[in-house]
Structure 1
Amino acid sequence: RDTLTSRPLRYNVEGNKSTSPVTPAVKDLVKVLYGGKRFGNHVDEVWPNLFIGDITVANDRYSLWKLGITHVLNAAHGKIHSRVFVHCAVGVSRSASLVLAYLMIHHHYTLLEAINRIKEHRWIFPNIGFLKQLRVLDMKLRKTS
């Protein structure tokens, strides 16, 4: 984060600081998503009190209790302010897309910043259709800010 503005630092596709808030093309987003670790745990905390995972953990009440999860958002079939576990079948596309949108809308991250933030903690890979929708959201949010 930029200590002067308390906003997320901006980075371009190559990972360098950027002042240009351009929404990357889907093919560039795919390159970013291919980078870094390429495996996922059953559950990872990708933001304070915000988890992404798979159906295994979603069906394991003891694991949810142990993690302090109070709400579960099922993306396989509101507001995210509690300790929330977001899951879909595998925990890399649908659930990740929801968390990316959350970071963009509520924490003012660009799409690329949100991807990089989550990738610090978990391998994600939203499908091309979701990436296209997230790009539209990114461009819409930039017009209103």
Structure 2
Amino acid sequence: KPDTVCLSPLDPEEEEKCRSVTKDSERVWEIPSLQELEEILLSAPTSFSHGDEVWPNLYLGDLVMAHDKLGLWKLGVTHVLNAAHGKLCSKGSEDFYGTTVKYYGVPASDQPTFDLSSFFYPAAEFIHQALTSGGKVLVHCAVGVSRSAALILAYLMIHHHLSLLNSICCVQQKRWICPNTGFLRQLIVLDRKLQDTGVKGSK
């Protein structure tokens, strides 16, 4: 059970490992099956805290971190993406954070039937704009392992051209994650779409 906020920076070598997924522009990216993804996720050490930096200036966290306005201010967080907007126990809103933090709410339910894919690109763009303008971003849901994790994986796939497998590997270096089966299926579809359109393999 998480009990402390761990905000250790991402090692430059770890970041480079995440970025340097392939040097071969002709490589066909492996599209994992749902069973393969579940095995990878469930076999990883279940180590996570209230918040972890999983990419430079990008934090994946839970409601405890999201509700700690003083802690976020001390950390320098400028943007908050709440993947549990309007849900039980989630205080997140523009009014809650005030004018010093830009807020984006995704009213997702952590259910396999929920279509999170419709938020993949808008959420990725919100994160991208924040980071490229020098901001720090917290992406959270209730526990920080399913809804918010899926959105961060989509961001890495869309804006950093990582495959789904490499995105998971990258985040797992800093935090245990486990998006539900429905979100995993939607991420597999995104992975295939990005490969088919040539976004990946062009780097």
* Coarse TM-score class (shorter-chain normalised): 0.7 to 0.9
State the Cα RMSD in Å.
1.7
The residue number in structure 2 matching 1:15 is: none
Structure 1 residues 22 and 53: alpha-carbon distance in aligned structure 2, compared to 1, 3 A threshold: same
Matched, 1:89 2:142: yes
TM-score w.r.t. structure 2 length?
A: 0.62
**1:9 maps to amino acid:** V
Matched, 1:8 2:40: no
Matched, 1:132 2:179: no
In structure 1, what is the Cα distance between the partners aligned to 2:177 and 2:20? 20
Figure out how many residues of one structure are paired with residues of the other and give that number. Answer: 133
Alignment match of 2:67 (pick from 45, 49, 59)? 59
The residue number in structure 1 matching 2:46 is: 38
What stretches of structure 1 of length at least 5 have no aligned partner?
A: 11-18
TM-score w.r.t. structure 1 length?
A: 0.86
Alignment match of 1:26 (pick from 30, 34, 49)? 34
Question: Highest Rg: 1 or 2?
Answer: 2
The more displaced of 19-28 and 50-59 is 19-28
Runs (4+) of structure 1 exceeding 4 A deviation are none
In structure 2, what is the Cα distance between the partners aligned to 1:89 and 1:101? 18
The residue number in structure 2 matching 1:121 is: 174
The residue number in structure 2 matching 1:16 is: none
In structure 2, what is the Cα distance between the partners aligned to 1:118 and 1:9? 14
SS of 2:139's equivalent? strand
Report % sequence identity. Answer: 53
